[in-house]
Amino acid sequence: MAEVEPVEVPSVAGAVFGERVGLAEEFVRLLTVHGVERGLIGPREVERLWGRHVLNSAVLQERVPAGVRVVDVGSGAGLPGIPLAIARPDLEVTLVEPMARRVAWLDEVVETLGLSTVSVVRGRAEERAVRDEVAGADVVTARAVAPLAKLSGWCLPLLREGGSLVALKGASAAEEIERDQAAISRLGGGKARVETCGAQLDEPTTVVVIERVKSAGRRERPGRTRRDQRAHRA
């Protein structure tokens, strides 16, 4: 395999990742070396890994409270879940991905980077087994997965009442909300709003935030993580 030139680390990376910026650099290196050959990113994305993908994902931390449980739906190459977990070791992050080869990649990255607060679940968010596994999340994230109406149908059932879907979107976010708000409301979501994260970036991240306002029926006890539940059942 031909040697791959390292991607230059932008100065803002230190401000976003703090003392864990080295882990972010290693994640970018792994994507640079393996991302294209394993079908995780396109060839043109290598030079844009920091600005378009990693930093763009990590600044979601501005919309995530301390010490909560986050589910990243359709994680793919680990975006936004892995940069978020690197930037915020206080979070318990679950990466949900249906494709076996991508799950294998995510498992390798989690092990290589020593991300003890990250777990990987294979499956689709709409599957009953996945919903049972990750239900009661405080925050659900998604990046380039689906239009808001469909995304809400997949993600809102994974949230506890009062939890939030934080979806990375582009310039058409407001138009998506106008088109899909009625469907979002029927699915148990509150009024969607457009927010931005990462004012320090050259291109700040646009997100749509939707709170779950209707009960999912079965709720977890507050503050109880999946690990706690497994220990209790054992």
In this predicted model, what pLDDT tens digit does every residue of 178-187 receive, in sequence order?
999 999 999 9
* pLDDT tens track for 125-163: 999 999 999 999 999 999 978 899 999 999 999 999 999
Burial 108-126 (b: 16+ CB within 10 A, else e): ebbeebebebbbbbbbebe
Q: Binning pLDDT at 50, 70 and 90, where does residue 216 land?
A: very low
Q: Is the peptide bond preceding residue 80 cis, with omega within 30 degrees of 0?
A: yes
CATH fold for domain 60-217+224-233: Rossmann fold (3.40.50)
Q: pLDDT tens across 67-98, in order? A: 999 999 999 999 999 999 999 999 999 999 99
Contact 91, 70 (CB under 8 A): yes
Q: Are strands 92-97 and 69-73 parallel, antiparallel or unpaired?
A: parallel
- Max CA separation in the chain (angstroms): 53
Strand order in the sheet with 118-122: 118-122, 92-97, 69-73, 137-143, 159-169, 205-211, 193-197
pLDDT at 37: 83
The conformation of residue 218, written as its DSSP 8-state character, comes to S
**pLDDT 10s digits, 19-41:** 999 999 999 999 998 888 888 88
Report the pLDDT value the prediction gives residue 219, as an integer from 0 to 100.
41
Confidence of residue 3 (pLDDT cuts 50, 70, 90): low
pTM above 0.85, yes or no: yes
Residue entry with tokens 């994902």: 57
